[in-house]
Amino acid sequence: MTALASRLLRAAHHAASLTSVRLALFGLVALVACWRPLEQAGGMNDFRDAHLLHSYEDAGTRTVTRYGQLPLWNPWSCGGQYALGSPQTRVSAPTLALSALVGARRAEPLVLWAFLVLGMEGFFRYARRRVGSTLGALLAAPLFGLTSFTALAWSIGWLNFAGFLLMPWLLWGARRAAEGAVSGVAVVAAVFALLLGFGGTYPVPMGALFVALETGRTLYGLRGAKRRVEALWALAATALVTLGACAYRLWPLVETMRSSPRVMAGTPGNSFPALMEMLLQLPARSGFSDRGNFFFAPVALALVLVALALGRRRALFPAIVAGLCVWMAAGYDASPSLFEGLRALPIFETFRYPERFLVPAGLFLSELAALGLAVLLARSGRKPREAWAAALACGLALAGWGVEWRAFDHLTRWTQLVPAPTEHEQPFAQARGNRWEQGHFLALNRGSIACGEAWPVPMSDKLRGDLPQEEYLEDPTAGTARRVEWTPNRVTVDVDATRPATLLVNQNWHPGWKTSVGDVHSKDGLLAVRVPEGRHQVVLRFVPRSGAGGALVSALSWAGLAIVAWRMKRGARLLTGPRATGIAALPLVAGVLVAQAWHEPVATPRFDNPDGSPLLAPELPPNAVPVGARFDVPVELVAAQLPPGPDAEGLAHLVLYWRVTGPVPRSVGIFVHVMAPDGGRVSADHSVVGGTWFLGDAPRGALLRDAFSVALPRPIHGEWKVLVGLWHEGGDQSRVTARGANGEEIPDSRVPAGSFSIPPRGWVDESSGQP
């Protein structure tokens, strides 16, 4: 019996070491998990985020299949946006080819299937090197691969979050790269490039974080200073090759985010019991809840315990990192908050869901499970009497697969599936649109101006959804404009101008637009061309410098890497040290040269209040009343501009003028108390000025025009006073001491900013002839 078990074990080990057998197994596991999504292929996910994100893929697919163009400009979303510069689009990933082949909706479950297979294979490779057991790594792979967050992401249309599944490839590649393997460099560069192209807004920065930890772990494990120095050079070269490989997407993204910075406020947090519910409780079969969103099969925890008890030093790293992930996932509920510290770093400042760190927590728990299996399998080899423990462990792992599949299946049931929209063939035009149902507008060949992105897309407020023609002259008496050809990246218009005129296109301007006649510019954010008098055929082309330059840098990086791999195959020695790093930097130097040689206008950020008015004021308007209050942080309330009363709908539109002269803690926010004549109070607190800057991030010395409105509950006749101050909103909620112009403390630290009144018979005095 023991001999049979031993033979079976050897055969299983051997089979697990065959890539094809593993892929067949992972393919089967993934197929079972994806059965329901595959059944729903072609239908439309009616969740609002799915509408937004799928529309991007749909737009990219239409651009390729109907117009034969690369998906650079997306005219169907938000009045037109740079597809490569939009962080959540997937159109620059190779998966677009599948969308083009079978249709964007039918491709999605196939992409999910492929990512599940890739995720399990990546985990296997990573864990096998870390735990030293082929069978252990194989059995633990589906515990990570079936992580339920992927199913949740699927059900609400966030397919780009499947990118988390490629994280083990990054860790595996980073280790191989540190060991001097070109394949490791290629894997790290390829996976980061793929994730960026796939819209991995979280997987990319989180992947970078864990790659940094993995390289530290690898460097620590190396013996001797010489090997460590070599590894550091290899990692530096890897970083440069990766930057180059990602440039096709990174350059457009950086450029876009610089012109449209995103502010993320708030102090999100999760209690420990809530995190345990997310991690260990089976998700419900229907409805949305946090429970089980990051499910890790509790039965597999027994293997984790085995690893902790018997794995000794090998269990240390994954156990510590899993603990750090849970700490991070607690967000601001933990004290001290690791997440708060992470948010102080660039890029990570936009993270808003700390619980997503439970995905890498699941990865490291799976590594521990693999280690537990490895330890027991090794012991059974040495002591056949302990074979039962190994058999039990394998049984637990298989039970874990079953439980995780169940959780996966439950979450995929949450999809709000509706029939795909019916196609209407008509010329393209902008519609007012509706971001909640955006998917329908592409089928109508209409762009949706209504836009619900997670970042402030540069948009013109002059876009319209009721125009008789999309290309027109600003001054209709100056001549005529007639569309000749329309494609996403190229628009041709015949213009007959009796005098110099401006051609307007009902799309957003971007510096990447070029014209064959006249000069292209932004007219209140609209795409505009100044054309001379006469008859012209104006051809507008979208050729962005960052897209072309980034693609060149990426191509050079890949070509360089291919040459190195080819030379090594022919017996050449591997380039190492500073020379390798220098060569890896060459494509980036080429990118800098392109940036210098190719001049393109810069899109400058617009800083507006939520009511669309400018956030920066050159000077105080005459009707602003000086206040001159200072606080015990370097902030001055310069003036206030209050209306005589609310408008006819009971809305009071208030403006405060602030000046920040030094560093202000991020916890400091503004409170506004609008005091009713009867003693009641309406609050208009806000910690982000104009929805754009924390006080600490505002430009120093500039006059900030903070415009906001208050809905008054009832038209109570009399004088309404406005009291303003600062408080530690994100801290102990204490008020910041306010002082008047003479330096004296203001009672309650509430600065009187003025007042307005309501007449006896309603919001406005109807008897008055004044508006």
Residues in a beta bridge with 658 = 637, 704
**How near is the Cβ of 404 to other proteins at its closest, in Å?**
19
Structural contact between residues 107 and 46, judged by C-beta atoms closer than 8 angstroms: no
Q: Which long-range contacts (CB under 8 A, 24 or more apart) does 222-230 make?
A: 222/178, 230/180, 230/576, 230/577
Is residue 625 a contact residue for other proteins (CB under 8 A)? no
Q: Determine, following the binding rule CB under 8 A, whether residue 307 of this chain makes contact with other proteins.
A: no
Binders of other proteins in range 659-688 (CB under 8 A): 687-688
Select the residue interacting with other proteins from 321, 338, 463, 478 (CB under 8 A): 463
Q: What is the rounded CA–CA span in Å between residue 277 and residue 289?
A: 10
State which of positions 690-749 bind other proteins (CB under 8 A): 691, 707-711
How many whole angstroms separate alpha carbon 226 and alpha carbon 307?
32
Picking from 11, 15, 3, 55, the residue whose alpha carbon sits closest to that of residue 448 is 55
For the bound state, the minimum distance from the C-beta of residue 161 to other proteins, rounded and expressed in Å, comes to 16
Of the candidates 132, 205, 381, 452, which one interacts with other proteins according to CB under 8 A? 452
Q: Which stretch binds other proteins (CB under 8 A): 208-216, 472-480, 515-523, 606-614?
A: 606-614
Residues whose CB is less than 8 angstroms from the CB of residue 230 and which lie 6 or more positions away in sequence, other chains included: 180, 576, 577
Segment lying near other proteins (by CB under 8 A), choices 129-137, 244-252, 438-446, 541-549 = 438-446
Nearer to other proteins by Cβ, of 459 and 575: the residue is 459
Among 24, 309, 574, 589, binds other proteins (CB under 8 A): 24
Nearer to other proteins, 532 or 614 (CB): 614
Does residue 467 interact with other proteins by CB under 8 A?
A: yes
| Cβ-based nearer residue to other proteins, 50 or 234 | 50
In this structure, what is the dihedral angle of CA atoms 219, 224, 229, 232, given to the nearest 10 degrees?
Answer: -10
Footprint (CB under 8 A) of other proteins, residues 355-394: none
Nearest to 163 by CA among 102, 103, 210: 210
Work out which of 59, 64, 96, 110 binds other proteins, going by CB under 8 A: 110
CB of 634 to other proteins, least distance (A): 22
Q: Does 474 bind other proteins (CB under 8 A)?
A: no
By residue count, the chain amounts to 771
Tokens 């690898």 map to which residue? 218
Closest distance of CB 472 from other proteins, Å: 12
Least distance in angstroms from the C-beta of 214 to other proteins: 28
Verify binding: residue 565, other proteins, rule CB under 8 A.
Answer: no
Three-state SS string across 423-488, please?
CCCCCCEEECCCHHHCHHHHHCCEEECCCCCCCCCCCCCCCCCCCCCCEEECCHHHEEEEEEEECC
Among 66, 262, 383, 499, contact with other proteins (rule: CB under 8 A)? 262
Local structure of residue 763 (DSSP, 8 states): S
Please identify, using beta-carbon distances, which residue of 299 and 328 lies nearer to other proteins. Answer: 328
What type of residue sits at position 319? A
Shortest CB 28 distance to other proteins, Å: 6
Q: Which of residues 43-82 bind other proteins (CB under 8 A)?
A: 43-44, 78
Query: Side chain identity at 333, as an amino acid letter?
Result: D
Judged by CB under 8 A, which of 13, 530, 653, 735 binds other proteins? Answer: 653
| The two structure tokens encoding residue 412 | 């995929």
Give 5 or 420: the residue with its C-beta nearer to other proteins.
Answer: 420
Mask of contacts with other proteins, 413-432, x by CB under 8 A? Answer: ----xxxxxx-x----x-xx
Q: Which of 10, 39, 347, 623 binds other proteins (CB under 8 A)?
A: 39
Structure tokens at 187: 């894997």
| Residue placing its CB nearer to other proteins in the complex, 38 or 280 | 38
Least distance to other proteins, CB of residue 445, Å: 10
Contact assessment for residue 708 and residue 686, using Cβ atoms and an 8 Å cutoff: yes
Token pair belonging to 397: 């792992």
The residues in 483-542 that bind other proteins, with binding defined as CB under 8 A, are 525
Q: What pairs with residue 527 in β-bridges? A: 505, 522
Q: Which stretch binds other proteins (CB under 8 A): 62-70, 101-109, 281-289, 472-480?
A: 101-109
Residue 97 in the binding site for other proteins (CB under 8 A) = no
Q: How far is the CB of 488 from other proteins (least distance, A)?
A: 19
Please check whether residue 354 is in contact with residue 331, taking contact to mean a CB–CB distance below 8 angstroms: yes
Kind and range of the H or E run holding 544 = none
Q: Helix, strand or coil for residue 520?
A: strand
- 545-569 and 225-259 helices cross at what angle (nearest 10)? 160
Q: Which of residues 123-152 bind other proteins (CB under 8 A)?
A: none
Q: Under a CB-based contact definition with an 8 Å cutoff, are residues 457 and 451 in contact? A: yes
The binder of other proteins chosen from 230, 349, 386, 437 (CB under 8 A)? 437
Window 265 to 304, contacts with other proteins (CB under 8 A) = 265-269
Query: For other proteins, which stretch binds (CB under 8 A), given 108-116, 125-133, 383-391, 404-412?
Result: 108-116
Beta strands in 616-702 (DSSP E): 616-617, 625-631, 635-641, 651-660, 668-675, 681-683, 688-689, 693-694
Token pair 């009187």: residue: 752
The H-or-E segment that residue 51 falls in is helix 48-67
Minimum CB distance to other proteins, residue 463 (Å): 6
User: Which CB, 27 or 560, lies closer to other proteins?
Assistant: 27
What distance in Å separates the CA atoms of residue 56 and residue 84, rounded to the nearest whole number? 11
CB of 277 to other proteins, least distance (A): 18
Cβ(115)–Cβ(154) below 8 Å: no
By CB under 8 A, residue 611 contacts other proteins: yes
Q: In this chain, which stretch among 21-29, 295-303, 396-404, 616-624 interacts with other proteins, using CB under 8 A?
A: 21-29
- Minimal distance, residue 712 CB to other proteins, in Å: 9
If one asks whether residue 460 binds other proteins (CB under 8 A), the answer comes out as: yes
Of 254, 263, 274, 568, the one binding other proteins (CB under 8 A) is 263
Tell me the sheet residues that pair with 735: 727
Is residue 450 within the footprint of other proteins (CB under 8 A)? yes
449 binds other proteins per the rule CB under 8 A: yes
The count of residues interacting with other proteins (CB under 8 A) is: 96
* Locus of tokens 């001549």: 479
At residue 712, what is the residue type? L
* d(C-alpha 557, C-alpha 669), whole Å: 46
Return the residue matching tokens 């001049």.
599
Q: Which stretch binds other proteins (CB under 8 A): 196-204, 364-372, 645-653, 741-749?
A: 645-653
